[in-house]
Amino acid sequence: MNLTLFHFYSDQLNLYGDRGNVIALKKRAEWRGITLDVVDVKAASAVDLTKADVLLIGGGPDRLQALCTDDLRGIKGEFKQAIDDGVSALTIGGGYQLLGEYYELPDGKKLQGLGVLDFYTHSPSSGPRERLIGNILLESPRFGRIAGFENHGGRTYHDYETLGDVVAGHGNNGKDKKEGLLYNNLIGTYLHGPVLPKNPALTDFLLEAAWKRKTGNPLPPYEQNELENAANRHLWDVHEKKV
């Protein structure tokens, strides 16, 4: 049996190689004998979300984020339904922000989100307005050590479970030392880089949830190689000054 990934706006929302997440998902599925079919979604109205096992939305600059949010608005009910039904989803940066109630732009204008989840993102109107940029490391109770790169102006606030605790870097808002959001089988995060090749545990979480939902079975095992974790380990080693 195959899995189907819907990749939204791959040309517009592809900050810092977010598209690389597709390759990671495809490979880790293939190593288990599963084919991941990728549907490149350019217009939300053209797709039937009930056919998707995994959803992926990357990040992008504000202008493109606004255009893509408007396009997605047409299927926000279906999108919410899919997330509530437990479809796997990875949403990054702008793709994460647009799931909330609104994203307040640096000029104070509010870009209405899809309202799939109950949270908001502000851009500071006074005080330090700098973007939150750099490598970022998280300790995640569910996934262990996570590594990535962030670059965002928006500061996100919510009461959901988070992806992890910030060990180095800024995270959701630069204040509460939390990063990302977990809800059902959805991961929202500011981590680019792309995030999945550096974090096989996240890749496998998305695949496992999709596979279980579709077949009722756990992911088939395969012989793991320690090189799969090399990028993650290297970033942590640099942080701990082991290299």
Known binding positions for substrate: 131
Task: Find the Cα–Cα–Cα–Cα dihedral 124, 165, 5, 197, rounded to 10°.
Answer: 110
Q: CA 216 to CA 210: how far, in whole Å? A: 10
d(CA 168, CA 152) in angstroms, rounded, equals 15
- Minimum CB separation from ligand GLN for residue 155, in Å? 8
Q: What are phi and psi of 168, to 5 degrees?
A: -145, 135
CA distance 214 to 34: 12
Angle between the 20-30 and 200-215 helix axes, to the nearest 10 degrees? 60
We find the least distance from the C-beta atom of residue 115 to ligand GLN, in angstroms, to be: 18
Considering the complex, state which of residue 59 and residue 188 has its C-beta at the smaller distance from ligand GLN.
59
Tell me how far, at minimum, the Cβ of 154 lies from ligand GLN, in Å. 3
* Residue (69 or 211) nearer to ligand GLN, CB: 69
Q: Let me know if 192 is a catalytic residue.
A: yes
CB neighbour class for 174 (10 Å; exposed up to 12, middle 13-18, buried from 19): middle
Smaller CB separation from ligand GLN, 26 or 192:
192
Summarize as ranges the residues that interact with ligand GLN (CB under 6 A): 15, 59-62, 65, 93-94, 97, 151-154, 190
Of 122, 152, 170, 192, catalytic: 192
Binding residues: 131
Catalytic residues: 192
